[in-house]
């Protein structure tokens, strides 16, 4: 069950039409082709970078269907099915399974703070509602709390909960997860920690920068697998300016505008997020030029 999930699986943007009112199927397919043709091993649709929080239930499910159709069974498609309530998360997860999604990724409920039993029961309910693999998603910067290690240990015993995406950047926490089960997969969700997590035993990365620089990000994983640690470390360092550029605009607009500068139509970020300022867009373009991406 776990062998197909490895390498670079970027959380792709959701391209919207110019008015921001609907999903652009054509451009979603183009973004998928862009990352896969440049070395990524799968795609993750409907994540934070994909603006799931701005989308209706129907839009989210439709994006799952488009992604599965585009992949045509050639590579895994993960889907973010998180919602604040357990019931909605379950319904989205069932819809993802019906659409043919390979695995789901579920961030812990945001806005509310759960105790350990509530957190465990939430994930257990989701896992029991589907037969496909489930990845936990730890992102305390967005949810305000870590998924406790004690809860992860309990959840790892559920057959179809097979791993976790971690965006905390806390390597002590990640190493503790890696010690839980030998076959429990850990993916880096923090682009600056890809080298560290994979060399510690992680399965790969779900890296937003791979929307823009898929070949570079993929090379970190590939060089580690071939034993070229110096080359992988160099590639990780070369990625830093792009990750730092995220500060030039409100999340998640920078990746979308970077894709536009590459000639890939990603559409606008949905309100209340504004476009980047002209000054910061020029800075972003300079970074992409320096990285030889444009």
Active site residues: 137, 165
Consult the annotation and say whether 13 binds a ligand.
Answer: no
Secondary structure of the chain as H, E, C letters = CCCCCCEECCECCCCECCCCCCECHHHHHHHHHHHHHCCCCCEEECCCCCCHHHCCHHHHHHHHHHHHHHHCCCCCEEEECCCCCHHHHHHHHHHHHHHCCCEEEEECCCCCCCCHHHHHHHHHHHHHHCCCCEEEEECHHHHCCCCCHHHHHHHCCCCCEEEEEECCCCHHHHHHHHCCCCCCEEEECCHHHHHHHHHCCCCEECCHHHHCCHHHHHHHHHHHHHCCHHHHHHHHHHHHHHHHHHHHCCCCHHHHHHHHHCCCCCCCCCCCCCCCCHHHHHHHHHHHHHCCCC
- By CB atoms closer than 10 A (0-12, 13-18, 19+), residue 180 is middle
Annotated binding site: 206
Known binding-site residues for pyruvate equal 206
């Amino acid at each position: 069950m776990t062998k197909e999930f490895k390498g670079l699986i970027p959380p792709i943007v959701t391209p919207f039409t110019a008015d921001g009112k609907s999903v652009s199927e054509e451009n979603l397919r183009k973004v998928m082709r862009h990352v896969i043709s440049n070395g990524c091993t799968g795609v993750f649709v409907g994540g934070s970078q994909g603006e799931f929080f701005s989308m209706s239930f129907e839009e989210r499910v439709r994006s799952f269907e488009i992604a599965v159709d585009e992949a045509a069974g050639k590579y895994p498609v993960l889907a973010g099915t998180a919602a604040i309530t357990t019931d909605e998360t379950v319904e989205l997860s069932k819809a993802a399974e019906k659409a043919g999604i390979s695995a789901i990724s579920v961030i812990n409920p945001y806005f509310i703070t759960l105790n350990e039993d509530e957190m465990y029961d939430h994930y257990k309910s989701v896992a029991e509602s589907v037969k496909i693999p489930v990845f936990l998603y730890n992102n305390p910067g967005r949810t305000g709390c870590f998924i406790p290690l004690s809860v992860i240990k309990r959840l790892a015993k559920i057959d179809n909960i097979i791993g976790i995406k971690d965006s905390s950047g806390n390597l002590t926490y990640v190493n503790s997860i890696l010690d839980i089960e030998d076959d429990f997969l850990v993916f880096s969700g923090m682009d600056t920690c890809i080298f560290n997590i994979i060399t510690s035993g992680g399965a790969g990365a779900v890296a937003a920068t791979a929307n823009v620089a898929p070949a570079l990000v993929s090379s970190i994983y590939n060089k580690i697998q071939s034993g070229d640690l110096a080359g992988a470390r160099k590639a990780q360092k070369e990625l830093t300016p792009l990750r730092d550029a995220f500060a030039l605009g409100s999340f998640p607009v920078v990746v979308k505008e970077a894709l536009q500068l590459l000639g890939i139509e990603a559409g606008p970020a949905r309100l209340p997020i504004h476009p980047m300022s002209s000054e910061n867009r020029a800075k972003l373009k300079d970074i992409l030029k320096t990285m030889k991406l444009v």
